[in-house]
Amino acid sequence: MSHSAASLPIAAVVAAAGRSTRMGEPKQLLPWGTRTVLAAVIHHLAEAGAAPVLCVVGHRAEDMIAALADAHCRIIHNDNYLAGEMLSSYQAGVAALEQDRDPYSGTLLALGDQPHVPVWAIRAVLEAARLAPDRIIVPSYRMRRGHPFYLPRRFWADLRTLQGEETLRTLMRRHEAAIHYVSVETDAILRDIDTPTDYRDLAPPPG
């Protein structure tokens, strides 16, 4: 990747195709302030500077799309969400980016259930990615890594070819020497919303 990659836009891919089995209802559609959980995630990514933001849907896709009517994002369908888990959503999103005419230095890989991650933490990852666009940029809190993290374009092909029992951890182990950690003073990057208790603990107060 040329030095000019630092000036290229950085996309974001949000994995939002899951069934929310532990929640008992689609967690992405739960209220979060004046938005839904998923719409808040997308809003924060865009506010931090990621563009474009792709949202990958699968389970109850029509409901997800309806809830995102006012969100600034592109919708990608993951037809393999039942068998492929979260990895297949990232693969679908990256495949869509590769078809774009616009060049990107890389993409943030974001979770669809982390609306509590502050914009400044996302922006810290993006700023580090612009300084080192060929490195995998991972936010960390007290030596524990979280989301969203930045994957350079040069590793997209490796992501797309993961299969079977392989996961994002496989990719990270394979390219461990390319990882750069950005320390952030919030454990929000480590937490997501899997259960009703998680939602009660993390949701903003009403009003």
- Average pLDDT on 166-177 reads 95
Q: List pLDDT tens digits, range 60-92.
A: 999 999 989 888 899 999 988 877 678 999 999
- Average pLDDT on 106-117 reads 97
pLDDT of residue 207: 58
pLDDT of residue 5: 67
Kindly tell me if the per-residue pLDDT of 33 is higher than 80. Answer: yes
The encoded tokens of residue 22 equal 């532990």
Find out if CATH 3.90.550.10 is the number for domain 9-199. Answer: yes
pLDDT of residue 85: 78
Query: In sequence order, which residues have a C-beta less than 8 Å from that of residue 127 and are 6 or more positions away?
Result: none
Average pLDDT of every residue of the chain: 92
Domain boundaries, the chain: 9-199
Kindly tell me if the per-residue pLDDT of 196 is higher than 70. Answer: yes
pLDDT of residue 4: 61
Q: d(Cα 11, Cα 23) in Å, to the nearest integer?
A: 29
Kindly tell me if the per-residue pLDDT of 40 is higher than 60. Answer: yes
1 pLDDT tier (thresholds 50, 70, 90): very low
- Containing 85, the helix (H) or strand (E) segment is helix 81-98
Q: Which long-range contacts (CB under 8 A, 24 or more apart) does 198-206 make?
A: 199/23, 199/27, 199/30, 202/116, 203/30, 203/31, 203/32, 204/32, 204/33
- Put residue 190 in one of left, alpha, beta given phi > 0 → left and psi -120 to 50 → alpha: alpha
pLDDT of residue 2: 45
Kindly tell me if the per-residue pLDDT of 45 is higher than 60. Answer: yes
pLDDT of residue 3: 43
- Average pLDDT on 31-43 reads 95
